[in-house]
């Protein structure tokens, strides 16, 4: 017959064991949240010596069109994009799967800014991307080995004007061309405040693209 103290001990051990996966997952999530924040800060410096230590030597970034670029290519492109302090950015980790020293992370990133439309009004443009990132654990911590964009959604004043998923054909003329929407000026491809350069150049932590001309 089990004593009252034995039952209490068993319940305590069982509770601790049941909480272990949750605690471990929380710790891993916190690690990656901190790593993404560190990567975004490094990207904002545009300095290779700040960015490269967070990437593996064979790092690759694949855009929504399926084109890949190396760390050097990425840094070269970032150097041409000014950092806009008015940019608003939020990101969240959707899922994490760790197998040994490799982690598969799905995360989404929302970046918003404003631009003036052909109607003379200021419109809020938001880019929401979903990426599948591969991290590998090294003595220095988790390093980003690859990032692959899986979905891009562009909204203007909360209304979706364009959405593209991995494997979809690129719009005719690319992202920077298209029919004009109610808030666009003809020939206006300016990014506006808080926006970046192109919708295909968006690895975790980087500046986001300028909007396309939009859809009617």
8 Å CB contact between 117 and 185: yes
Q: Which of 176, 172, 173 is nearest to 200 (CA)?
A: 176
Q: Three-state DSSP class for 65? A: coil
Residue 196 and residue 80: Cα distance in Å, rounded?
10
Query: What would the DSSP string read from start to end of 124-167?
Result: EEEEEEEEEEEEEEETTEEEEEEEEEEEEEEEETTEEEEEEETT
pLDDT at 204: 57
Burial degree of 30 (CB within 10 A; 0-12, 13-18, 19+): exposed
CB atoms within 10 A of CB 139: 4
Domains of the chain in sequence order: 4-165 (3.10.450.50)
pLDDT at 171: 73
**pLDDT tens, N- to C-terminus, the chain (216 residues):** 545 555 454 444 454 444 434 334 568 999 999 999 999 999 999 999 999 999 999 999 999 989 999 999 999 999 898 888 888 889 999 999 999 999 999 999 999 998 888 889 999 999 999 999 999 999 999 999 999 999 999 999 999 999 999 988 877 766 544 434 444 443 333 344 444 434 444 555 444 444 444 443
Tokens 């051990």 locate to 13
pLDDT at 167: 87
């Amino acid at each position: 017959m089990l004593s009252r103290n034995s039952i209490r001990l068993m319940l305590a051990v069982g509770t601790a064991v049941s909480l272990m996966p949750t605690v471990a997952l929380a710790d891993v999530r916190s690690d990656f949240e901190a790593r993404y924040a560190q990567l975004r800060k490094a990207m904002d410096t545009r300095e290779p010596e700040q960015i490269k230590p967070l990437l593996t030597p064979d790092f690759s970034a694949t855009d929504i069109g399926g084109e890949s670029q190396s760390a050097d290519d990425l840094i070269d492109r970032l150097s041409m994009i000014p950092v806009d302090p008015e940019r608003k950015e939020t990101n969240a980790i959707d899922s994490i799967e760790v197998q040994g020293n490799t982690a598969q992370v799905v995360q989404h990133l929302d970046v918003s800014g404003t631009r003036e439309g052909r109607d003379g009004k200021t419109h809020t443009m938001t880019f929401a991307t979903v990426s599948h990132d591969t991290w590998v654990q090294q003595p220095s911590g988790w390093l980003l080995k690859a990032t692959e964009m899986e979905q891009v959604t562009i909204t203007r004043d909360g209304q979706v004007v364009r959405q593209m998923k991995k494997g979809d054909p690129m719009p005719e003329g690319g992202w920077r061309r298209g029919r004009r929407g109610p808030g666009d000026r003809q020939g206006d491809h300016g990014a506006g405040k808080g926006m970046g350069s192109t919708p295909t150049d968006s690895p975790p932590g980087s500046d986001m693209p300028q909007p396309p001309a939009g859809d009617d």
